[in-house]
Structure 1
Amino acid sequence: MGRRLRATAAVLGDEALRLFFPLAALHAAAWPLLWVAVYGLDLPLARTVPPSLWHGHEMLIGAFGAALLGFIFTAVPEWSNQDRPRGPVLFALAGLWSVGRLVGLVGADMLGALGALADLAWLGAIVVFLAFTAVRQRALGLRGFLFWIVALWLGEAATRYGFLTGDLHLAKTSLWLSVLAFTAILGLALARITPPITNRILDPDLASTPFRPHPGRRNLGPILIATAMAGTIFGASAAVDGFLLIAAGAAFMDRSAEAFIGRAFFRTEILALGGSSALAGFGLLLVGASRLALPVPELAGLHLLTMGGLGLGVLSVFAIAGKLHTGQPLGLELPVKGAFLLLVGGTLARVAAAFDPTTPSITGLLHLISALMWAGAFLVWLRCYWPFLSRADKPEEGSARG
């Protein structure tokens, strides 16, 4: 048994996605179920920080944070043609990430400083790695990721400071800015991932590149996200915030138009990547509409943005990269396709709960349905991909490039 565990650990430590994607999936599945079914939307040790802020923080920095670690430390070495971090480095980062999650598991305000130091350390490691790679390899294309992860680090630092000092307005505002930073990172990631995957689907032999994305869409969403963040930071009115968020949402909705590539549009990979942009965009539109005093609950837009846009984007990366980096042909099995439906269904159930919070029995049922479907999506993915991720099969040379 010990030999088998060591062999599995060696495989997981060989590439960041093999370690961090399963961690992200487990956390994404377990946390909402604990939050809804066990804690009853409360946390046992939360005293100063409202449980809802802990919940949002743990989903963003916890589940999506692990996905970010796996993505950056796998994709960036590939894009810049350098050796990827392995073994002790990856397990050390996983240890830091885990410290923050143990603190957030019960909302332990008294251990907030420990959790803050751990989370800021692994986020800082991503910043240092990106900066070093960009300078050493003269990889100018990494500047966007570097900018937004620095913004995410600053947002996390401000959020944790608000947690520690009891400045809940600062904590809430900073957490929202972190959501926007993650959304911008999603936009950059989709800009890098979508074209090669689309071309691989249109021409499996990779003899041509029939799909060429519109250059104006590449960075429009992140740029408008930056504008919306500037409005929040410099104290723009709610109406100005609303219009800026609507503009950013429109950019993400426009980005989803690249999914219309003929009959191949109905491939799950294309639908998922395009759907991630669309749900993120629609979520931003709803938040913007709420801030313009329209009868739309902001919480509905927030969950459509995070669970729908970010969640679908993360699951798409899990499914696509998990295939290409373990020597599997592109193409998703029926259970994985079902996982995408579960995630979208769970998102819609949570959005519906935000639209009708006045009936506790119905709202509670919708929360439970949402948590079960969301957890099911990530557990199905993990069940299907764990055999590939935990064994030492190597992809063919260049099979994961793009």
Structure 2
Amino acid sequence: MSEPAESSAQSAAQSAAQSAAQSPALFKEPYRVLFPVAMAVGVVLIGTWGAQLAAGGGLLSPATHGALMLWGVYGTAVLGFLLTAYPKQNGAPQPPGPVVLALAGVQVLAVVLWLVGGTAAVVGGGLATLTWAGVTAWAATVAVPSIRRGWDATTATVPFILATATVALGLAVSGVQPVLAPALAIHGVFVPLALTLLDRILPFFSRKKVPGYDGLRRVGFTGNLLVLGILRALVEGRISAVALDALLILLIARQWQGWRPLQGLRPPLLGVLHLGIAWLLLGYVVDAAAPFLDPTMALYARHLWTVGGLGTLVLSIAIRVTRGHGGLPLVLGTDGAIMVGLVQLAVLLRAVLPLLGVTHPLLWPAAAGCLGLAMLLYLLRLAPAVLRG
């Protein structure tokens, strides 16, 4: 962005901050509540799923569990980070506190109704879809004036990713495209959105914390990532997906190299973000190899993306935002290291060991337990900071 644009953005952000300072504590930075809400939903869903796995069956189908984890847990947390960073980056006021708290309530209600099933599930899914459509419209109102002040690829790409999210969630709710819906959610929404947001914040925080850091943002990365992700989802289950996997590997690896992962391994609060990116890349490598080695590898690739990649990134960002905006030292800390370590253990049990030929009926419940315990630890150790003024 140009200097006049940056100045205008800073003025708008300062004005918004002064207004927020006169609000109740929870309304000052209401987006913070979305992180503990996401983790609480995750604990319930994972606890239910783990019990089912141990019992050999139950309430949720694998497809329903996957959709609820993506949209109810990761979706809620990603919205929290989006509302944290996107207005500030673009000099826009944050959404009013009551609106954000209502959004959190709708996300929880949608999950509950989806769990009930039947007509209630359709109503819950419809509420969630309308919520994402509303967030898409809000992002567009932030993006348009910001782009007029000065072009930024992250700013321009986010509304299109959110629009894709609305479509993907609508497909999941309707059930008309059971193969496309989860593929579009992963490749067209959550992977592009996570990496698009990282494209802005990872170099920014690395320059502040890493002496001599010379990372860069590649031109065209975010837009190409979204387009390739959508195309990859459209060919889910076909041999042509291998070509899209390969293109995504090259694109993500090239930008990852630009973010200088070896320079950014310290401090650990930055290093864990690079760990999440590595899991995403490994997922695409495994998925590309699946048609030639063993088609069942595609299932483990999905868990490398969702548990390893998105799980690590979502939890790491939640730790960072909660600490940074909750008056805690901006470090990973022992509790954060344990949380992230539990996620790594979960992906090892759920994906890596099966890929290596290790099988046991308790691997899946154990993986669910590790992931749920990581989220529970967040609730016990970090969530109280959300309510601090």
Which TM bucket (shorter chain)?
0.7 to 0.9
Q: Is the 8 A contact 2:215 2:260 kept in 1?
A: no
Q: Deviation of residue 56 (structure 1)?
A: 0.9
Residue 101 and residue 285 in structure 1: after superposition, are their counterparts in 2 closer, same or farther (change >3 A)? same
Identical columns (%):
22
In structure 2, what residue type is equivalent to 1:154? V
TM-score (norm: length of structure 1): 0.82
Pick aligned residue for 1:94 from 104, 129, 135: 104
Tell me, in whole angstroms, the C-alpha distance in 1 between the residues paired with 2:238 and 2:162: 26
- Contact 1:32–1:371 (CA under 8 A) maintained in structure 2: yes
2:112 partner amino acid: L
Match among 183, 188, 206 for residue 191 of structure 2: 183
2:288 maps to a residue whose letter is G
Contact 1:124 1:153 survives alignment (8 Å):
yes
Aligned partners of 1:299 and 1:354 also within 8 Å: no
Alpha-carbon displacement from aligned partner over 1:199-255 (angstroms, at most 9, x marks no partner) = 22125xxxxxx3232333x6537624522522543x588222112113213433444
The letter for the 2-side match of 1:200 is K
Contact 1:340 1:377 in 2 (8 A): yes
Quick check: 1:239–1:292 contact (8 Å CA) kept in 2? Answer: no
Give the gaps of 5 or more residues in structure 1. 1-8, 204-209, 393-402
1:96-135 CA distance string (max 9 Å, x none): 21221102334x1332320121111210121011011112
Structure 1 111/237 Cα, relative in aligned 2: closer, same or farther at 3 Å? closer
Q: Deviations over 1:367-390 (max 9, x none)?
A: 121111111112222322223211
For the residues of structure 1 that align with 2:171 and 2:113, how far apart are their CA atoms?
A: 18
Q: C-alpha separation between the residues in 1 aligned to 2:205 and 2:37?
A: 25
Match of 2:130 in 1: 121
**Contact 1:188-1:219 within 8 A present in 2 as well:** no
Q: Distance in 2 between matches of 1:260 and 1:89?
A: 37
Structure 1 equivalent of residue 179 of structure 2: 172
CA drift of 1:357 comes to 9.2
User: How far is the alpha carbon of 1:331 from its aligned partner?
Assistant: 1.5
Letter in 2 for 1:201: K
2:16 aligned residue: none
Distance 1:221 1:251, change over 3 A: farther
The number of equivalent residue pairs is 360
Which residue in the other structure is 2:228 paired with? 227
Query: Hey, what's the Cα distance between the residues in 1 that align with 2:45 and 2:356?
Result: 23
Q: Does residue 382 in structure 1 map to residue 384 in structure 2?
A: no
In the alignment, structure 2 segments of 5+ residues that lack a partner are 1-22
Q: Distance in 2 between matches of 1:41 and 1:104?
A: 21
Matching of residue 30 in structure 1 with residue 44 in structure 2: yes
Amino acid at match of 1:22: P
1:97 to 1:260, Cα distance in 2 relative to 1, 3 A: closer
Partner of 2:31: 17
Give the aligned partner of residue 139 of structure 2: 130
Q: Which amino acid aligns with 1:112?
A: A
Shift in CA distance, 213/323, structure 1 to aligned 2, threshold 3 Å: same
Distance 1:280 1:237, change over 3 A: closer
Deviations along 1:20-55, one digit per CA (max 9) or x if unpaired, are 0001111222212211214746443x6xxxx11101
Name the counterpart of 2:13. none
Residue type at the aligned position of 1:212: D
Name which of structure 1's ranges 240-249 and 55-64 shifts more when overlaid on structure 2: 240-249
1:34-183 correspondence to structure 2 within 5 Å: 34-38=48-52, 40=55, 42-44=57-59, 51-106=61-116, 108-138=117-147, 140-141=151-152, 142-162=155-175, 167=176, 170-180=177-187, 181-183=189-191
Q: Deviation of residue 353 (structure 1)?
A: 6.5
The letter for the 2-side match of 1:214 is L
For the structure 1 residues 20 and 199, does the alpha-carbon distance in structure 2 shift closer, same or farther, using more than 3 Å as the test? same
C-alpha distance 229-334 of structure 1, shift in aligned 2 (>3 A): same
Residue 72 of structure 1 deviates from its aligned partner by 1.7
Q: 1:200 aligns with which of 194, 200, 208?
A: 208
Aligned position for 1:400: none
